[in-house]
């Protein structure tokens, strides 16, 4: 008897609910009816583009087909519970029981949490643009410049009693021109700040598109865990991405596939389960370079260890080349972030691993075990500079003693780091480059 809680059974249930026959759904998905029949009876695995296509055709979320509505709901509730700053005693002891007893409330709670995440992403994106978008800075300068000119001209007209007609007409013309300039600058500023008025395609950069796509896939691509995956075909099917974002995705998947062939998931799983999550030990046991191990650990940590690892890859300029965030440690897209992150020490000491306990300050900052390493590329034949790449792997640190850090031995104290100088609450940092917005001097 076929289980009713398998991907195939859920696809069949969704197809019947949509009133579609097997042949009809198969034709729309571009596959044969016998192949769809094998999928519905769980004789063929389904993932990647075909799963997404079927979900669109059946008008359901892909996660509901792959995980099931109940599993997706429980996972969402567990994510919310993990964010609550309360003692475990007041949390529901069984998330599944809570979901079963209060299903409408559970669904509404998960939906609101999803909306909260969307708004948080929008606020972070806008805050980043306020700091680093040169076009936005130009618009602000234009508005301030026009407003200052209008104020100066109006003050002259108001405070001067006898003005010759010729000069009076000239001041009026200046007021008219400056007011038009102010209106145009204000309209451009609204276009940057108001997502309802602005073109959504202009809000996201190719890098943000790319990062959003990877986050939606949880950085894991099952079809490229083996050599059979077709990168070009997969990328061409992602028509929702811009051409620039597609190129970023192509580069990522080509590297992903090389790493997967060099260090298969089963091999890394065996090593981590037997010897722990030490990248150096995993590199020694697998015979692979540390960057390969760190990329694979970040990609597969949720599947192998049931915990999310974060990974930052940057060059010596501080430009972010890859960013897999982890809750409790913010990794900004733009340059100018905290100078005392250990990845920058690693860039000064290439090929030397650096392990440090880190605490990121701020309301949502957490404790982590960090592992940083800088890789030197092959020396170029020409006079081009050597550009090392810095890697920083972040693992949630759950083994620190409870209580105040001041009560801990100095060797166990984590390094307190920030996000950027402007948003850092640490007042005794020797690497501070500008005043924090939390300082009294600001």
Whether the per-residue pLDDT at 58 is higher than 90: the answer is: no
CB contact at 8 A, 174 and 181:
no
Q: What is the reported pLDDT for 135?
A: 62
**Using an 8 Å Cβ cutoff, are 10 and 68 in contact?**
yes
Burial class (CB in 10 A: 0-12, 13-18, 19+), 220: middle
Chain centre distance of CA 181 = 38
Whole-model pTM: value is 0.57
Return the top range by mean pLDDT from 74-88, 246-260, 304-318: 246-260
Per domain, the residue ranges of the chain are 7-67, 74-129, 133-203, 206-255, 263-307, 308-442
- Cα(326)–Cα(321) distance, rounded to whole angstroms? 16
The CATH classification number of 308-442 equals: 3.30.450
- pLDDT, mean of residues 237-261: 92
Q: Give the CA dihedral 403, 407, 412, 418, nearest 10 degrees.
A: 70
CA atoms 163, 169, 171, 175: torsion sign: positive
Contacts of residue 394, defined as CB under 8 A and 6 or more positions apart, other chains included, come to 309, 310, 311, 312, 326, 329, 358, 368, 369, 370
pLDDT band of residue 371 (cuts 50, 70, 90) is very high
Classified as helix, coil or strand, 67 is coil
Domain 7-67 - what CATH class?
mainly alpha
* Residue 142 pLDDT exceeds 60: yes
Burial of 29 (0-12, 13-18, 19+ CB in 10 A): middle
> Of residues 392 and 380, which shows the higher confidence score?
392
Would you state the pLDDT for residue 203? Answer: 47
């Amino acid at each position: 008897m076929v289980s009713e809680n398998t991907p195939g059974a859920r696809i069949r249930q969704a197809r019947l609910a949509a009133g579609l026959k097997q042949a009809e759904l198969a034709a729309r998905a571009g596959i044969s009816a016998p192949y769809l029949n094998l999928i519905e009876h769980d004789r063929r695995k389904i993932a990647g583009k075909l799963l997404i296509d079927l979900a669109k055709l059946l008008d359901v979320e892909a996660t509901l087909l792959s995980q099931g509505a109940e599993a997706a709901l429980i996972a969402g509730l567990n994510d919310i519970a993990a964010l609550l700053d309360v003692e475990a005693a007041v949390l529901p002891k069984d998330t599944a029981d809570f979901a079963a007893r209060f299903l409408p409330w559970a669904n509404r709670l998960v939906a609101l949490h999803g909306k909260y995440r969307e708004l948080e992403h929008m606020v972070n994106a806008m805050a980043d643009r306020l700091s680093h978008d040169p076009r936005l800075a130009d618009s602000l300068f234009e508005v301030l410049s026009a407003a200052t000119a209008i104020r100066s001209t109006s003050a002259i007209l108001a405070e001067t009693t006898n003005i010759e007609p010729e000069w009076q007409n000239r001041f009026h013309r200046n007021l008219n021109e400056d007011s038009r300039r102010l209106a145009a600058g204000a309209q451009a500023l609204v276009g940057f700040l108001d997502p309802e008025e602005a073109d959504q395609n202009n809000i996201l950069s190719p890098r943000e598109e790319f990062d959003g796509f990877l986050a939606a896939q949880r950085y894991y691509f099952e079809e490229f865990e083996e050599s059979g995956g077709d990168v070009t075909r997969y990328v061409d099917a992602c028509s929702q991405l811009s051409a620039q974002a597609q190129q970023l995705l192509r580069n990522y998947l080509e590297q992903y596939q090389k790493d997967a062939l060099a260090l298969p998931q089963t091999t890394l799983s065996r090593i981590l389960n037997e010897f722990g999550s030490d990248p150096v030990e995993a590199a020694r046991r697998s015979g692979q370079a540390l960057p390969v191990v760190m990329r694979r650990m970040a990609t597969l940590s949720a599947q192998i260890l049931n915990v999310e690892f974060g990974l930052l890859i940057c060059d010596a300029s501080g430009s972010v080349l890859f960013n897999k965030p982890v809750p409790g440690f913010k990794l900004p897209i733009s340059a100018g972030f905290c100078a005392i992150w250990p990845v920058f020490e690693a860039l000064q000491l290439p090929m030397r691993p650096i392990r440090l306990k880190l605490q990121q300050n701020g309301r949502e900052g957490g404790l982590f075990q960090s592992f940083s390493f800088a890789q030197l590329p092959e020396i170029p034949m020409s006079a081009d500079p050597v550009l090392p790449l810095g890697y920083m792997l972040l693992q949630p640190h759950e083994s620190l003693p409870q209580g105040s850090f001041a009560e801990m031995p100095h060797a166990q104290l984590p390094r307190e780091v920030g996000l950027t100088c402007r948003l850092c609450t640490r007042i005794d940092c020797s690497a501070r480059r500008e005043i924090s917005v939390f300082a009294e001097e600001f």
